[in-house]
Amino acid sequence: MASVKGRAVEVTAAGGEFRVVEREFADPPAGHVRIRVQACGVCHSDSLTREGHWPGIQYPRVPGHEVAGVLDAVAPDVPLFKVGQRVGLGWHGGHCNYCVPCRRGDFILCENGQVSGISFDGGYADYVIAPANALAFIPDELKDVDAGPLLCAGITTYNSLRNSGARPGDLVAIVGIGGLGHLAVQYAAKSGYRTVAIARGEDKAPLAKQLGAHVYIDSKKQDPAAELQKLGGATVILSTVTNADAVEAVLGGLGSSGKLIINGVPDRPLSLNAIAMIGKRQSIVGWPSGTGMDSEDTLNFSALSGIKPMIETYPLEKAAEGYERMMSGKARFRVVLTTGA
């Protein structure tokens, strides 16, 4: 092994501008690997790095937690992984193995867990050095530019649904058809759920049906809760939006023992009718992304089912432009940086 040189797009301070620099990427230390980045998705959570909203973040820092690439170097003590293998790195940037959640095998809740692009430099670069226990193998059927967004938007929605308790044939509603939602609709439909997509505007209906939704509800013209009750009440409502009003508007659509799963972070605390929820034994839960193995399951299911993100690509040196495109909300639906490797 030997150190290599490459580009990195770093943020030098909270709220600072992106800066393209050349860096030396050292040999990976014990328990780590070095990945030659092929593609990296741009996620709204990258704003935590750009704006300094994550407590204790150290600068300069390279964002990016939707990394698809090829192993370039592997530490001698790392089993399983070998140079030349295609791997992905998501939000989960490794776990300690020794805290109580880790000892119970719940690695995503590790009390000392790292986050790619926050705890250490992420994928807006030619290379990433990362803990080996955070990696996922990428199946041959998936292109790098498609695999990247599946390592955050994909795993978050897929993992939420497969752990929701819903069974094939159950009514599952997806709120929002954006970066997460357009994947969630596909996962719900391909998993055999009776899939309802909820968004604002009649213009979203064709896309919802294209993605596999059996029913589309236009929340501008219809009461989504009432419409869901007409369909028998939702077993699961998966919210991918940040608008708290939109989330509250669907709560009444839950059926008995129904569950609202929060993927998107609402812009304010939610109000709820506790009496109604108690009477129907309903629940609201949050769901984080998942581990490297969860990412691998997501990638394999996506390849098997033909699920892909809708993407816009930008070269690495235009990372700032790609980031602004993502933050504008105009991207359809995920922005992906490519290194040209």
Quickly count helices (H) and strands (E) in the chain: 11, 15
CATH (domain of 170):
3.40.50.720
On whether both 201 and 276 belong to a single domain, the answer is yes
Query: Average pLDDT over the chain, rounded to whole?
Result: 97
Average pLDDT over residues 311-338: 97
Output b/e per residue, 234-250; b: 16+ Cβ within 10 A: bbbbbbbbebbebbbbb
On whether both 56 and 96 belong to a single domain, the answer is yes
Quote helix, strand, coil % in the chain, to nearest 5.
30, 30, 40
Q: Please, which pLDDT band fits residue 2 given cuts at 50, 70 and 90?
A: confident
> In sequence order, which ranges of 26-154 are alpha helices (DSSP H)?
47-50, 100-103, 144-149
What percentage of the chain reaches a pLDDT higher than 90?
Answer: 99
pLDDT digits (tens, 9 = 90+) for 185-208: 999 999 999 999 999 999 999 999
On whether both 313 and 248 belong to a single domain, the answer is no
Place of tokens 């497969």: 162
Instruction: Let me know if residue 234 belongs to a domain.
Output: yes
Residue in 323, 317, 239 with CA at minimum distance from that of residue 21: 317
On whether both 186 and 67 belong to a single domain, the answer is no
Locate 306 and state its tokens.
């033909």
On whether both 10 and 129 belong to a single domain, the answer is yes
Instruction: Let me know if residue 158 belongs to a domain.
Output: no
On whether both 137 and 85 belong to a single domain, the answer is yes
Q: Please, which pLDDT band fits residue 1 given cuts at 50, 70 and 90?
A: low
CATH (domain of 83):
3.90.180.10
The full length of the chain comes to: 341
pLDDT digits (tens, 9 = 90+) for 103-132: 999 999 999 999 999 999 999 999 999 999
Q: What's this model's pTM, rounded to 2 decimal places?
A: 0.97
Instruction: Let me know if residue 282 belongs to a domain.
Output: yes
Average pLDDT over residues 318-333: 96
pLDDT digits (tens, 9 = 90+) for 246-290: 999 999 999 999 999 999 999 999 999 999 999 999 999 999 999
On whether both 42 and 100 belong to a single domain, the answer is yes
What percentage of the chain reaches a pLDDT higher than 70?
Answer: 100
On whether both 331 and 245 belong to a single domain, the answer is no
- Could you give the CA distance from residue 284 to residue 243 in angstroms, rounded to a whole number? 16
Count of alpha carbons within 13 Å of 51, Cβ hemisphere only?
9
On whether both 274 and 187 belong to a single domain, the answer is yes
Domain that holds residue 294: 4-151+289-338
Place of tokens 């213009």: 203
Instruction: Let me know if residue 159 belongs to a domain.
Output: no
Domain count, the chain: 2
pLDDT digits (tens, 9 = 90+) for 40-92: 999 999 999 999 999 999 999 999 999 999 999 999 999 999 999 999 999 99
Q: Residue 149, exposed/middle/buried by CB under 10 A (0-12, 13-18, 19+)?
A: buried
- Could you give the CA distance from residue 270 to residue 21 in angstroms, rounded to a whole number? 42
> In sequence order, which ranges of the chain are alpha helices (DSSP H)?
47-50, 100-103, 144-149, 155-162, 181-190, 205-211, 224-230, 244-251, 274-279, 292-305, 319-328
Residue in 223, 231, 230 with CA at minimum distance from that of residue 248: 223
Instruction: Let me know if residue 299 belongs to a domain.
Output: yes
On whether both 169 and 146 belong to a single domain, the answer is no
Instruction: Let me know if residue 156 belongs to a domain.
Output: no
Instruction: Let me know if residue 225 belongs to a domain.
Output: yes
